[in-house]
Amino acid sequence: MNECTVSSHVLNAVEGRPAAGVRLTLLREGEDGGYEAIHSAVTDADGRVSGWGTVPGRHRLRFDTGAWFAARGASTFYPEVEIAFTAAEGHSHVPLLLSPFAYSTYRGS
């Protein structure tokens, strides 16, 4: 099976800056339909996690937003954000725009 990569970028939409220190976990769907964690990291100073290697197919990116807001003395309605997507051959970029009471995502490049 061909390889692909997945990356992400988290932006703090309240301050208009990168969200450094957000824990992300990449999960991949198995043959039984369940998901297994295959990578985990924390966003760097620019709010980024660089390309993780995986295989094409269904994945989920889980963002630990509750811990990130709590570390800043804030609360959030969303203790975690999980985005389901299908990774294709090549590269998939999954950005997250984050605030305490809303989030948005799109297919990045």
Q: How far is residue 39's CA from residue 25's CA, in Å, rounded to a whole number? A: 6
Query: Per residue in 19-58, is it b (16+ CB within 10 Å) or e — as a string?
Result: bebbbbbbbbeeeeeebeeeeeeebeeebbbeebebeeee
Quick one: pLDDT band at residue 88, thresholds 50, 70, 90? confident
Residue 23 has pLDDT above 90, yes or no: yes
pLDDT per residue over 36-62, tens digit each? 999 999 999 999 999 899 999 999 999
In this prediction, residue 61 carries a pLDDT of 98
Residue 99 tokens read as: 């605030």
The SS3 call for residue 77 is coil
| Residue 60, number of CB atoms within 10 A of its CB | 16
Residue 1 has pLDDT above 80, yes or no: no
- Give, in words, the CATH class of 4-105: mainly beta
The model's pTM: 0.94
Each domain of the chain, given as residue ranges in start order, spans: 4-105
| Identity at 22, one-letter amino acid code | V
Residue 67 has pLDDT above 70, yes or no: yes
Q: Which residues contact 77 (CB under 8 A, 6 or more apart)?
A: 100, 101
In this prediction, residue 2 carries a pLDDT of 75
In this prediction, residue 52 carries a pLDDT of 94
